[in-house]
Protein backbone atom coordinates (compact mmCIF):
# COMPACT_ATOMS: atom_id res chain seq x y z
CA UNK A 1 0.00 0.00 0.00
CA UNK A 2 1.44 3.35 -1.06
CA UNK A 3 0.83 6.61 0.74
CA UNK A 4 1.52 10.02 -0.78
CA UNK A 5 3.94 12.13 1.25
CA UNK A 6 4.98 15.57 0.01
CA UNK A 7 8.53 16.58 0.87
CA UNK A 8 9.48 20.25 1.15
CA UNK A 9 13.03 20.93 -0.05
CA UNK A 10 12.66 24.72 -0.07
CA UNK A 11 12.32 24.92 -3.87
CA UNK A 12 9.03 26.71 -4.45
CA UNK A 13 9.32 28.03 -7.99
CA UNK A 14 10.41 26.91 -11.41
CA UNK A 15 10.57 23.46 -12.91
CA UNK A 16 11.33 20.47 -10.67
CA UNK A 17 11.80 16.83 -11.64
CA UNK A 18 13.86 13.66 -11.29
CA UNK A 19 13.82 13.37 -7.48
CA UNK A 20 16.03 10.64 -6.06
CA UNK A 21 16.86 9.49 -2.54
CA UNK A 22 20.35 8.42 -1.48
CA UNK A 23 21.10 6.74 1.86
CA UNK A 24 24.72 6.89 2.99
CA UNK A 25 26.50 4.02 4.80
CA UNK A 26 25.91 5.76 8.15
CA UNK A 27 22.14 5.97 7.51
CA UNK A 28 21.98 9.65 6.53
CA UNK A 29 19.38 10.25 3.80
CA UNK A 30 19.66 12.83 1.03
CA UNK A 31 17.28 13.94 -1.72
CA UNK A 32 18.56 15.07 -5.11
CA UNK A 33 16.31 16.97 -7.51
CA UNK A 34 16.62 18.93 -10.75
CA UNK A 35 15.31 22.50 -10.51
CA UNK A 36 15.44 25.63 -12.64
CA UNK A 37 13.59 28.72 -13.84
CA UNK A 38 13.17 27.06 -17.25
CA UNK A 39 14.05 23.78 -18.91
CA UNK A 40 17.09 25.58 -20.38
CA UNK A 41 18.53 26.59 -17.00
CA UNK A 42 18.42 23.55 -14.74
CA UNK A 43 20.69 22.68 -11.82
CA UNK A 44 20.95 19.70 -9.49
CA UNK A 45 20.13 20.33 -5.84
CA UNK A 46 20.74 18.21 -2.74
CA UNK A 47 19.04 18.31 0.66
CA UNK A 48 19.77 16.31 3.83
CA UNK A 49 16.99 14.62 5.79
CA UNK A 50 16.86 16.08 9.31
CA UNK A 51 14.04 13.86 10.62
CA UNK A 52 13.61 10.41 9.09
CA UNK A 53 10.37 9.67 10.98
CA UNK A 54 8.64 12.75 9.54
CA UNK A 55 10.62 12.87 6.26
CA UNK A 56 11.62 16.50 6.73
CA UNK A 57 14.66 17.90 4.96
CA UNK A 58 16.95 20.92 5.17
CA UNK A 59 16.54 23.41 2.33
CA UNK A 60 18.16 22.13 -0.85
CA UNK A 61 21.43 23.63 -2.04
CA UNK A 62 22.94 23.60 -5.51
CA UNK A 63 25.59 21.04 -6.40
CA UNK A 64 28.25 23.19 -8.06
CA UNK A 65 29.30 21.72 -11.40
CA UNK A 66 31.71 24.28 -12.90
CA UNK A 67 31.55 24.72 -16.68
CA UNK A 68 28.54 22.40 -16.86
CA UNK A 69 25.35 24.49 -16.99
CA UNK A 70 21.86 23.06 -17.42
CA UNK A 71 22.37 19.74 -15.64
CA UNK A 72 19.55 17.33 -14.73
CA UNK A 73 18.88 13.80 -13.48
CA UNK A 74 21.48 13.61 -10.69
CA UNK A 75 22.18 10.20 -9.20
CA UNK A 76 24.61 9.42 -6.35
CA UNK A 77 26.40 6.19 -5.50
CA UNK A 78 29.36 5.25 -3.32
CA UNK A 79 32.02 2.65 -4.07
CA UNK A 80 35.04 1.91 -1.87
CA UNK A 81 34.65 5.18 0.02
CA UNK A 82 34.39 7.33 -3.12
CA UNK A 83 31.16 9.17 -4.00
CA UNK A 84 30.12 9.35 -7.65
CA UNK A 85 27.55 11.69 -9.18
CA UNK A 86 26.15 11.03 -12.61
CA UNK A 87 24.00 13.59 -14.39
CA UNK A 88 22.96 14.69 -17.84
CA UNK A 89 23.61 17.97 -19.63
CA UNK A 90 20.07 18.97 -20.60
CA UNK A 91 21.35 20.93 -23.61
CA UNK A 92 23.68 18.36 -25.21
CA UNK A 93 22.11 15.18 -23.71
CA UNK A 94 25.61 13.99 -22.72
CA UNK A 95 26.16 12.13 -19.44
CA UNK A 96 28.70 13.53 -16.97
What pLDDT shows up at residue 50?
A: 97
What pLDDT shows up at residue 36?
A: 93
How many whole angstroms from its chain centre is CA 22? 9
Mean pLDDT of the chain: 92
What pLDDT shows up at residue 12?
A: 86
What pLDDT shows up at residue 57?
A: 96
Taking the model in full, what pTM does it have? 0.89
Amino acid sequence: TWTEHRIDLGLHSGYRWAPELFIDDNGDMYALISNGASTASMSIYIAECNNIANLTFDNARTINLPNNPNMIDGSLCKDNGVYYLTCKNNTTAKQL
